[in-house]
Copies of this chain bind each other. A is one copy, B any other.
């Protein structure tokens, strides 16, 4: 079973391209909506929440966990990889994030060596996109901007209204003025505003959502790691878990992602 973990609904922008590209596997989606948005929380709490999610998912049959949430990937991925895989010398399970494939992709795309990143406060403060991009090419200049109100605006379905567009413009203005040619959407929610982001940034700037890149990266990973791939069940099952209101999860998903899904199962993460 492949598990997709996110702080809430946002990870569905990663889940959707993954199941489109790799439909044959069984999937489990876990959204920790009771504690969303992770971006406003301290690194210590985000690590703690991520540990609980990993323990839950491994105990429910996950062989491969994708951290769809940029915030959790930024702040907690190395920590959980260390604790649950390296220290236990675990060879049959894996935890992957969204950052490295995106960093690799933008390093190929940019011509001016000027890249922008927008994300939650926790993701931007972690500076992890710059760190990963500089491992590939230290000459790329990375301009970052935290946009903490976008997640609440999207969660409340206000993201098409003029106030949300005006807030978005104010967030993007300083990053647009840096003459970047590539912009990373460093939060799984932001693809829900991608049309407005592209319009504000202009045609010369390539906007990079992480979902499609993560899907291609996963396909590539599985082709190279048959020891993991062979252990994944392939019955096209999809299960959804949420820590908050299952009806709200189902309504949001069906409205914004055009997917019919079964009612998610409510779970408790605290152990």
Contact = CB atoms under 8 A, between A and B. Distances in A.
Interface stretch (A20-28, A133-141, A150-158, A195-203): A150-158
Interface in A28-71: 34-36, 40-42, 44-45
Contacts of A34: 35, 41-42, 45
A44 to B, nearest CB: 8
A149 interface: yes
A156 B158 CA distance: 17
Given A149-B158, A156-B149, A42 B245 contact: yes
A41 B163 contact: no
Interface string A157-192: 010001110110010000000000000000000000
Contacts of A152: 148-149, 152
A204 interface: no
A244 interface: yes
Interface of A: 34-36, 40-42, 44-45, 148-149, 152-153, 155-156, 158, 162-164, 166-167, 170, 243-245, 266, 270
